Chain A
């Protein structure tokens, strides 16, 4: 039901109307047509959900609606007056069919009622938090949180009369002990950067229920393919779509998904902050998502293989990967991720940061660049990139040791990737190749 007064227009004229007569209920979307593909699996959803074929021309695939504004009509004026502008096409910052199409696909993948795409992951994060928090609110978040999020929480919340406590994301007791009278939100990443720690989501959700809080999860490192955060009871799930969702290292975008009720609260915040996603970027993202499940399957598979290879290499001191039995939270990973352990691998090499830099010089395939989730392998040293704002001592405190390398394992052929690492490590330490011995 779209309009509040459907069927009760007469009551409005006679004055015999009160709030309980109003008809509009929340619905999923907004959407152009009902094409959620709820009962289908990941690849099918990735391909078909949200796609809007142009009925006029019969063109297959969602057109790029590269326009800033739309013709107004009686219905849109009515929608503006009634406050249901999110369900109408009025102006691209408010909504655009290209946005709706990709939002519908993301909502389908997240098992969400609704979602919004933003012009960056940080835009999604800042708009979501500002929309959900009240004046004077407190947030409990992770000491290991992504640097951009950390800066927003640490530097900007204060300006709005809000505050934050940073705790260990793996210690549920420390999280509970940090909850204050004015705590409103528990904000964590499902898999942390760069040490790939897991937050115990079900326990976090239980804390949310116990203290009447909202639980928000940044699922960028795992994506809805590896973890359906909303199915576990989380209120809102955020992604930097720049990473795995888009997967081609060629656009910047962010997403938030959840109940229509909460997403409708974030939407006006986005209107105020800006940060809507351009229609062309929406097209790229929607097209890229068609191979989402296909890509993620290969990312996961390759990462497990490469992590195993690295762990068995004598020059590698330690490997961080949730799929390895050596991971500190291996049991939780098994339970929470059910074998879908992500495409991210971190490892420490003999010889510290100096040797780590040299290794990157010797590698032929992984590109030395920040970011992650692209089809190509991306590799970087966290001390100098994502955690660069921390001092050496602070880095050590959260476990970022000398020689730590973060690898986003791409979808290249795994044999080629392993061979590349094997050659690079052998060249670096002037040793024999290791690969042939194991595989």
Chain B
């Protein structure tokens, strides 16, 4: 299979969802437990895709660097967020490249950003707590043209779920249970 991606399977799924939109519904969730200090542990919740449960039996740790009060034992939340964004953009890029019959030998995606901790620390209310800007670079080695890669990058910005979650406003509904 080109790029080890099953386009026939993707095509079948696309047409299934066209016929039965419910099959395109994918529910996600995580459960985080505070461990100690800045250290937390995350478990992925089971997904429901269409009408069927998918067991998501994965767990990972989050920490902060020592300079930010942690013990530097795991990536920090910002890195996981950027990693999740990059992973989603990369799989969208790869599937798109495969659909366009482009063989990819290597793909690297860098995402960089700088945030001002004054927002987190509450020093300056005018400073946004999150990243004001993110830069990303696709390093591609394959048999496509620059124009094709440019087109693919545009497609990624349009279709990648994580990219669009970050780029657009998301309704956040919070609650406390105790």
Which residues on A are within 8 Å of B, measured CB to CB?
Answer: 4, 12, 15, 17-20, 22-26, 80-84, 133-138, 161, 181-184, 209, 211-214, 261, 264
Q: Are A15 and B151 in contact, with the CB atoms below 8 A?
A: yes
Contacting residues, chain A, for B147 (C-beta < 8 A): 15
Partner of B1 from the list A26, A80, A212 (CB cut-off 8 Å) is A80
Q: Are B54 and A134 in contact, with the CB atoms below 8 A?
A: yes
Task: Please give the number of chain B residues whose Cβ is less than 8 angstroms from any Cβ of chain A in the complex.
Answer: 34
User: Whole-angstrom distance from the CB of B93 to the nearest CB of chain A?
Assistant: 12
Q: B1-20, CB under 8 A of A: which get 1 and which 0?
A: 11001111111101110100
Sampled A-B contacts (26; CB under 8 Å)? A4-B8, A12-B101, A15-B100, A18-B155, A19-B10, A19-B14, A22-B7, A22-B11, A22-B14, A23-B11, A23-B15, A24-B8, A24-B12, A25-B16, A82-B6, A82-B7, A84-B8, A134-B56, A136-B55, A136-B57, A137-B55, A183-B53, A212-B53, A261-B16, A264-B9, A264-B12
Q: Are A20 and B14 in contact, with the CB atoms below 8 A?
A: yes
CB of B30 within 8 A of chain A?
no
User: Whole-angstrom distance from the CB of A45 to the nearest CB of chain B?
Assistant: 27
The count of A-to-B residue pairs whose CB atoms sit within 8 angstroms is 97
Q: Are B53 and A82 in contact, with the CB atoms below 8 A?
A: no
- Please report the C-alpha to C-alpha distance between residue A79 and residue B5 in the assembled complex, in whole angstroms: 13
Q: Are A184 and B1 in contact, with the CB atoms below 8 A?
A: no
Which residues on B are within 8 Å of A, measured CB to CB?
Answer: 1-2, 5-12, 14-16, 18, 46, 48, 51-57, 95-96, 99-101, 147-148, 151-152, 155, 159
Contacting residues, chain B, for A84 (C-beta < 8 A): 8
Q: Are A25 and B95 in contact, with the CB atoms below 8 A?
A: no
Q: Are B96 and A4 in contact, with the CB atoms below 8 A?
A: no
Q: Are A134 and B12 in contact, with the CB atoms below 8 A?
A: no
User: Whole-angstrom distance from the CB of B54 to the nearest CB of chain A?
Assistant: 6
- Please report the C-alpha to C-alpha distance between residue A118 and residue B127 in the assembled complex, in whole angstroms: 64
- Please report the C-alpha to C-alpha distance between residue A264 and residue B56 in the assembled complex, in whole angstroms: 21
Contacting residues, chain B, for A81 (C-beta < 8 A): 1-2
Q: Are B148 and A83 in contact, with the CB atoms below 8 A?
A: no
- Please report the C-alpha to C-alpha distance between residue A209 and residue B50 in the assembled complex, in whole angstroms: 11
Given contacts A12-B101, A17-B99, A24-B12, 16 further A-B contacts (CB under 8 A): A18-B159, A19-B10, A20-B18, A22-B11, A23-B15, A25-B16, A80-B1, A82-B2, A82-B7, A134-B55, A135-B57, A182-B46, A212-B51, A261-B12, A264-B9, A264-B12
Contacting residues, chain B, for A161 (C-beta < 8 A): 57
User: Whole-angstrom distance from the CB of A269 to the nearest CB of chain B?
Assistant: 14
Q: Are A213 and B96 in contact, with the CB atoms below 8 A?
A: no
Q: Are B57 and A213 in contact, with the CB atoms below 8 A?
A: no
Contacting residues, chain B, for A18 (C-beta < 8 A): 96, 99, 155, 159
- Please report the C-alpha to C-alpha distance between residue A183 and residue B52 in the assembled complex, in whole angstroms: 11
Contacting residues, chain A, for B148 (C-beta < 8 A): 15
Contacting residues, chain B, for A264 (C-beta < 8 A): 9, 12
- Please report the C-alpha to C-alpha distance between residue A23 and residue B148 in the assembled complex, in whole angstroms: 21
Q: Are B11 and A4 in contact, with the CB atoms below 8 A?
A: yes
- Please report the C-alpha to C-alpha distance between residue A293 and residue B153 in the assembled complex, in whole angstroms: 59
Q: Are A17 and B11 in contact, with the CB atoms below 8 A?
A: no
Q: Taking CB as reference atom, which chain B residue is nearest A211?
A: B53
- Please report the C-alpha to C-alpha distance between residue A184 and residue B96 in the assembled complex, in whole angstroms: 31
- Please report the C-alpha to C-alpha distance between residue A244 and residue B11 in the assembled complex, in whole angstroms: 38
- Please report the C-alpha to C-alpha distance between residue A18 and residue B48 in the assembled complex, in whole angstroms: 25
Q: Taking CB as reference atom, which chain B residue is nearest A9?
A: B101
- Please report the C-alpha to C-alpha distance between residue A191 and residue B18 in the assembled complex, in whole angstroms: 39
Contacting residues, chain A, for B51 (C-beta < 8 A): 209, 212
Q: Are A22 and B99 in contact, with the CB atoms below 8 A?
A: yes
- Please report the C-alpha to C-alpha distance between residue A422 and residue B158 in the assembled complex, in whole angstroms: 79
